[in-house]
Amino acid sequence: MAKYVGILTAGGDSPGLNAAIRGVVKASVGQYGMQIIGFRDGFRGLMQNRTIRLESHTVSGILTRGGTILGTSRDKPHQMPVGGEKMDMTDVMVDTYEQHNLDALVCLGGGGTQKNAYHLAQKGLNVVTLPKTIDNDVYGTDMTFGFDTALGIATDAIDRLHSTAHSHHRIIVVEIMGHNAGWLALGAGIAGGADVILIPEIPYSMDVVAEKIRRRQRRGSNFSIVAVSEGAHSSEDAKALAKARAKIDKAEKKPDRKKAKAELKELSASFKNHTLIVTEQLEAMTGLEARVTILGHLQRGGTPSAADRLLATRLGTRCAHFIQDEKYGVMVADRGERAVAVPLADIVGKRKTVPLDHSWIATARDIGVCLGDE
């Protein structure tokens, strides 16, 4: 008997989502005769039962399109904004699942989506997920689709900024997305020829960064490119964050834990404009004019790269096979040239950050890039 499958995209948009949807639908329908419905705008659409029928002809022509034809949102099943309050709407989503007699639900998203999907799996839903995010920080997979496209966009931006930095003898500071993982800034910084790369995994010293730029200046290079991950922190700020997190771990009573979490949130918010602060400090410490460019959501948009289309299609088609084999509660992960099933229980609560012994870090140091620590 043909299976009935639902599919949704959640979290931030990312290049390759449409390619993944297309892969799931074409393989599910073409290989196994499954019937697919898409839920609009992520878990909110699942709650509100807003659907679209997906067939092979429906997904024709979407391979090269950015974004997601289903729409997306960052709403969480157990903290859904409803009437000005946040409510646990998990049971409503379970009802929607059962109403459509679904055999499986496919969730495309990043780390938060993996966690939300696992929450639904614990409620009895047959869930399969696919890893997407431009940050490449989903645990358990070699690569997430969306990363390669964003890497190319960030690298191209750095390439373009070289000419103005050189012409005006400026320091150009480029903020690159990545939350608390430095994959995007590190990769784009190396590929784009940045002189300084600051990532969350390596707390930086402004004295070290400024000295690197002054040293370049003494050697006749009157410009520098500084690539900064949005989650990067100075050594002092990193110590303050570690202390705040330790306070949460040590809190035994619920009110104390709640207070400690609020303090951490307030501290984190105070670092929101850290790239602007870095720019101002470098200008003051080096005597060179400094300008900042924040790439922001520019990195999310546009046509997905060939690598992202290929990866998303590979994982999407493999997803169909897992559903047919009734392999549920898993994420379809990229491992070399294979797509494997990784239990969601092994992923939830974990983040894939850049290891300090990673070859990209070694490469950056070998070519003289300053990472802010030495």
Q: Are 192 and 158 in contact (CB under 8 A)?
A: yes
What does the block give as tokens for 206?
A: 């402004």
Orientation of helix 90-99 relative to helix 111-121, angle to 10°:
70
In whole angstroms, what is the distance from residue 217 CA to residue 269 CA?
34
4 DSSP β-pair partners: 35
Handedness of CA 12, 14, 16, 18 (dihedral sign): positive
pLDDT value at residue 2: 84
3-state class (DSSP) for residue 86: strand
Give the residue numbers marked as catalytic. Answer: 135
Which burial class, exposed, middle or buried, applies to 287 when counting CB atoms under 10 A from its CB (0-12, 13-18, 19+)? exposed
What does the block give as tokens for 171?
A: 């320091």
139 φ, ψ (degrees, to nearest 5): -70, 145
Instruction: Compute the CA torsion angle 355, 186, 113, 145 (nearest 10 deg).
Output: -110
Cβ neighbours, 10 Å, residue 308: 29
231 φ, ψ (degrees, to nearest 5): -100, 10
pLDDT value at residue 169: 85
In whole angstroms, what is the distance from residue 293 CA to residue 301 CA?
17
pLDDT value at residue 305: 97
pTM attached to this predicted model: 0.93
Which DSSP letter does residue 224 get? E
Q: Which domains does the chain have, with CATH numbers?
A: 4-145+304-336 (3.40.50.450), 151-233+271-300+356-366 (3.40.50.460)
Q: Are 6 and 39 in contact (CB under 8 A)?
A: yes
The number of C-alpha atoms within 13 Å of 314 and in the hemisphere containing its C-beta is 20
130 DSSP β-pair partners: 108
Nearest to 311 by CA among 340, 289, 334, 281: 334
What does the block give as tokens for 215?
A: 């040293």
Residue reference for tokens 């490119």: 225
What does the block give as tokens for 139?
A: 């645990």
In whole angstroms, what is the distance from residue 111 CA to residue 329 CA?
15
Q: Are 149 and 304 in contact (CB under 8 A)?
A: yes
The 3-state secondary structure of 305-369, one letter per residue: CHHHHHHHHHHHHHHHHHHHCCCCCEEEEEECCEEEEEEHHHCCCCECCCCCCCHHHHHHHHCCC
Write out the chain's pLDDT in tens, 374 residues.
789 999 999 998 999 999 999 999 999 999 999 999 999 999 999 999 999 999 999 999 999 999 999 999 999 999 888 888 889 999 999 999 999 999 999 999 999 999 999 999 999 999 999 999 999 999 999 999 999 999 999 999 999 999 888 888 899 999 999 889 999 999 999 999 999 999 999 999 999 999 999 999 999 988 999 999 999 999 998 888 888 888 888 887 878 788 888 888 888 877 788 899 999 999 999 999 999 999 988 888 889 999 999 999 999 999 999 999 999 999 999 998 899 999 999 999 999 999 999 999 999 999 999 999 97
Orientation of helix 183-192 relative to helix 359-366, angle to 10°:
30
240 DSSP β-pair partners: none
